[in-house]
Structure 1
Amino acid sequence: MTFSHSNDAPILSRGADYEQVASRFRPIFDRIAEGAIERERERSLPHEQIAWLKQAGFGAVRVPVEYGGAGLSLPQLVQLLIELGEADSALPQALRGHFAFVEDRLNAPASANRDTWFRRFVAGEIFGNAWTEVGDVAIGDVITRVSRNGNGWVVNGTKYYTTGSIFADWIDVYARRDPDGTDVIAAVSTHQPGVRTTDDWDGFGQRTTGSGTTVFEAAHVDEENIIDFSTRFKYQTAFYQLVLLATTAGAGRAALRDISREVRERRRVFSHGNASSVSQDVQVQQVVGQVAARVFAADATAVSAAQASQRAYEARFGGDEREERDANIAAELDSARGQIAVTSLVLQATTDLFNALGASGTSESRLLDRHWRNARTVASHNPIIYKERIVGAWEINRTEPPYVWQIGKGKSQ
């Protein structure tokens, strides 16, 4: 397929027939769901399952149809990630870095380099993520370096929380370029000896996301794949949060699926219950109904929160700076509002499901606790208390939200 990067009107991903696209992947989601409990129990990374998605073109669903992708809008991407998250909530989070880099390339000016990336996405190549520094690093500092080595460029440094990188063909690395000190994104191939990823993430949830440590030792990077961070797509923080919303909502859907099955199949009843079978007990039905309502609300909130980011994406090419600025503010605020709401809804749902079962519901063989553990772990990545403050500051004072934030040692320490 030949791509064009002319100066004509931009080709954008504004949406597609969702059911037609989703139907391609649902059989794969079903296969993924079949082994989810065993992978959780054994902490077995989903290499094979990621490969299924790559082969089916899942990583290119946001690429415009004209370039060989599916052309989904951002709300549709979130909807699809929720379905994947219901099968296994580790997988949408493992692909978070990939879809963020895709989004950045969608926002990039038309060029031969952008077309090359589109071809790679359509061919099934995927990205991981390597942004967070480890060690005694102060807020705002970047230890990982991109520097000259003869006629080429290399990356040196160590990153943690490198979610999805262990499955990836490329890694999106946040680094500082020597000697000018510019912050950049380096797209580094994993198919070289200078890149090593270790699955040493020890959280109690989301155990198979492929998070952990990645070490770069004179890892080669092509100059054309070193991108000034200042050009990064403006709604990136909102986008990263949207993937976590989809992941959380997917965990909620999985919890509803499992509790409904457990109640339907349960044969033991309590003498002080309300029916001769648990499935007919009106109080148990009430519990499941409440879980279903919270999951429904979480789904709807996650998809709705993505609409502002879609507007920001389209405004990027609209030529109206004020409209684009307003759209990016809305994207950040809606993703934060969504985080506040979805977190509360799903954590409550994944706790309340145990009210419909006896002590046997806590059996390790069922692993029903994994839904709460996974949702709680996802909710801890971006501290919700700060997002609540940011939303409040906007509502009261119209204080513009931050678009980029970091973690590290405070200046007073």
Structure 2
Amino acid sequence: MTIHSTFTNAVDYDSLAARFRPIFARIGQGAEARERERSLPVEQLGWLKQAGFGAVRVPLEQGGGGASLVQLVRLWIELAAADSNLTQALRGHFAFVEDRLNAPPGPDRERWLARFADGQLVGNGWTEVGAPALGEVQTKVTPEGEHWRLDGAKYYSTGSIFADWIDVYAERTDTGGKVIAAVSTHQPGVQRSDDWDGFGQRTTGSGTTLFDGARVDRNDVIDFASRFVYQTAFYQLNLVSVLVGIGRAIERDLSVQVRDRKRIYSHGNGPRAAEDPQVLQVVGQISAQVYAAEAVAISAAEAAQRVFDAHLAGDVEARHAANIEAELASAKAQLVVAELVLRSATELFNALGASAVRVDQLLDRHWRNARTAASHNPLIYKARIIGDWAVNRTEPPLVWKVGRGSGQTS
């Protein structure tokens, strides 16, 4: 493979992050207004595109940032602290980038890396709602001459409303094989709706996408079996990063609120909230929880990096062992980080007065956003899978399916 040492922390993180921190700051300035108005961050994602954020994992020599997976997670966390919706909106994009980085060298991979370096973004189109049975795929691709035709509907299509392409999980009508169809959004056969109705992460562009005779280039229908092996761990790392970023935002907003608070209680412990030892204890406890959550996220990212390194080395056995480790590490991270951040999102109110629950304060958004990110994959199953490995050495499932259970008709 022609992917070099740019993925082994050869790039200085602070120099890399310095390119984006002014943009993160601008994004953060409007985050509360977008939350209040449910305004999609179209302009803000445009800033990131222009700055090359979508290409940070692309090698330097191919126009990207040359970031390692650990560095990518650190950038995700910084962005999520500014606006957690944007980190999650880019989840599908970075997963497709990762897949192309793991693909065999050749014109197809080079074409995609050039697209990423050009600022093009990819959305997500995997999940179907309604009646499909477990493992069934109702979205179909059909060969039509020199291209393919894509028909179907996807929900939870995170980031697709902002994207130039959508990474669609579909089934071939000729062979029944499962594939990824990378479809351009710049055509009438693709219709995107902002109808996500969750109480949190409301501006991730996670609504419905319809495909009606959408054209897909023949080279952009990819056998799902060739998908990069650590995909499930990677997807979960993004959500963990979202949670850690929310944790950082909690610590930041709480510190400002305590510092500026004028009112105190007669049965308190100081002339100002900022000098009350018990209030400071709450802030310190949350700060420690966020610190721990970030350390766990970085550790899980290191495990995923080891899978990528083994893949580049061509060591299949080492890659498999590392992939199990990465999957378990991401599961453990989800359990621990979700608990720490959700606890912080509740405990912050212990350091503030009743006025902190006013709607215009928007402090509830931290819990709503964290709860939404933590609900994507049931944590109870993650705990069982971890325990089954610890006790029985049962390998974790590396590909998941969602659908109607047996005996159910709707």
TM-score (norm 1): 0.97
2:325 pairs with 1:330:
yes
Q: Which residue of 2 aligns with 1:50?
A: 45
1:4 aligned partner: none
SS in 2 for 1:133: coil
User: Among 183, 204, 209, which residue is 2:199 paired with?
Assistant: 204
The one of 228, 231, 234 equivalent to 1:233 is 228
Which SS does the other structure have where 1:52 is aligned?
helix
Residue 378 of structure 1: how far off its partner (Å) = 0.2
| Matched-pair contact (CA < 8 Å) for 2:146–2:217 | no
Matched, 1:224 2:228: no
Equivalent residues in 2 for 1:306-317 (5 A)?
A: 306-317=301-312
Q: What is the alpha-carbon distance in structure 1 between the residues aligned to residue 6 and residue 234 of structure 2?
A: 17
Given that 2:4 and 2:59 are in contact with CA atoms closer than 8 Å, whether structure 1 keeps it comes out as: no
Deviation at 1:412, TM superposition (A): 2.4
User: Paired residue for 2:147?
Assistant: 152
Compared CA separation, residues 230 and 267, structure 1 to 2 (3 A): same
What displacement does 1:134 show?
2.1
Q: Is the aligned partner of 1:289 residue 2:284?
A: yes
Question: Which residue does the alignment assign to 2:184?
Answer: 189
> Cα–Cα, structure 1 residues 276 and 10, in superposed 2: closer, same or farther, change >3 Å?
closer
Shift of 1:8: 6.3
Q: Counterpart of 1:276? A: 271
CA displacement, residues 295-354 of structure 1 (integer Å, 9 cap, x when unaligned): 111111111111111110111122222111101101100000100110000000111000
- 1:13 and 2:39 are equivalent in the alignment: no
Confirm or deny: 8 A CA contact 1:195 1:214 kept in the other structure: yes
Whether 2:117 is the aligned partner of 1:122: answer: yes
Match of 1:140 in 2: 135
Please say if residues 146 and 218 of structure 2, whose CA atoms lie closer than 8 Å, have aligned partners that are also in contact: no
Provide Cα deviations, 1:35-59, integer angstroms capped at 9, x if missing partner.
0001000000000000000000000
| 2:348 is the counterpart of 1:353 | yes
Contact residue 3 and residue 59 of structure 2 kept, 8 A: no
TM-superposition CA deviations, 1:131-150 (whole Å, max 9, x none):
00122000010000000234
Shift in Å, 1:12:
5.7
CA distance in 2, matches of 1:169, 1:100: 15
Aligned-partner Cα distance in 2 for 1:217–1:135 = 18
Alpha-carbon distance in 2 for matches of 1:61, 1:348: 32
1:3 corresponds to: none
Matched, 1:171 2:144: no
Instruction: Say whether the 8 Å CA contact 1:97–1:128 is kept in structure 2.
Output: yes
**TM-score between the two structures when normalised by the length of structure 2:** 0.98
For residues 297 and 138 of structure 1, do their structure 2 counterparts lie closer, same or farther at Cα, with a shift above 3 Å needed? same
Alignment of 1:53-72 (within 5 A): 53-72=48-67
Superposed displacement of residue 10, structure 1: 5.6
Alpha-carbon distance in structure 1 between the residues aligned to 2:66 and 2:143? 38
- Shift in Å, 1:66: 1.6
**Contact kept? 1:60, 1:69, Cα under 8 Å:** yes
Aligned counterparts of 1:248 and 1:355: Cα–Cα separation in 2: 20
Residue 111 (str. 1) matches residue 106 (str. 2):
yes
**Secondary structure of the residue that 2:135 maps to in structure 1?**
coil
The answer to whether the aligner puts 1:131 opposite 2:126 as a matched pair is yes
User: Do the aligned partners of 2:80 and 2:87 also contact (CA within 8 Å) in 1?
Assistant: yes
Contact 1:170 1:188 in 2 (8 A): yes
1:180 alignment partner in structure 2:
175
SS in 1 for 2:182: strand
Report the Cα distance in structure 2 between the residues aligned to 1:48 and 1:101, rounded to whole angstroms: 22
Percent of aligned positions with the same letter in both sequences?
61
Residue 90 (structure 1) aligned to one of 62, 73, 85: 85
Structure 2 runs not aligned, ≥5 long = none
C-alpha separation in 2, matches of 1:128 and 1:12? 25
What does residue 405 of structure 1 align with?
400
Structure 1 residue 9: deviation in Å? 7.4
The one of 314, 319, 332 aligned to 1:319: 314
Aligned to 1:342: 337
Q: Which amino acid is the alignment partner of residue 42 of structure 2?
A: H
**Which of the residues 238, 241, 252 maps onto 1:243?**
238
Q: Unpaired runs of 5+ in structure 1? A: 1-6
Structure 1: distance between partners of 2:3 and 2:136 = 39
Q: Is the 8 A contact 2:6 2:68 kept in 1?
A: no
**Contact persistence 1:12–1:314 (CA under 8 A):** no
* Residue type at the aligned position of 1:300: A
Following the alignment from structure 1 to structure 2, what is the Cα–Cα distance between the partners of residues 322 and 119?
31
Name the CA distance, whole Å, in 1 between partners of 2:146 and 2:13: 47
Conserved? CA contact 1:159–1:215, under 8 Å: yes
Contact 2:2 2:105 in 1 (8 A): no
* Separation (CA, whole Å) in 2 of partners of 1:96 and 1:359: 36
Q: Contact between 1:13 and 1:71, CA under 8 Å: does it hold in 2?
A: yes
Distance between the aligned counterparts of 2:252 and 2:349, measured in 1? 13
Secondary structure of the corresponding residue to residue 316 of structure 1: helix
Q: Report if aligned partners of 2:159, 2:205 keep a CA contact under 8 Å in 1.
A: yes
Q: Which amino acid aligns with 2:184?
A: S
CA RMSD of aligned residues (A): 1.0
Contact kept in structure 2, 1:332 and 1:401, CA below 8 Å: yes
Runs ≥4 in structure 1, deviation > 3 angstroms? 7-12
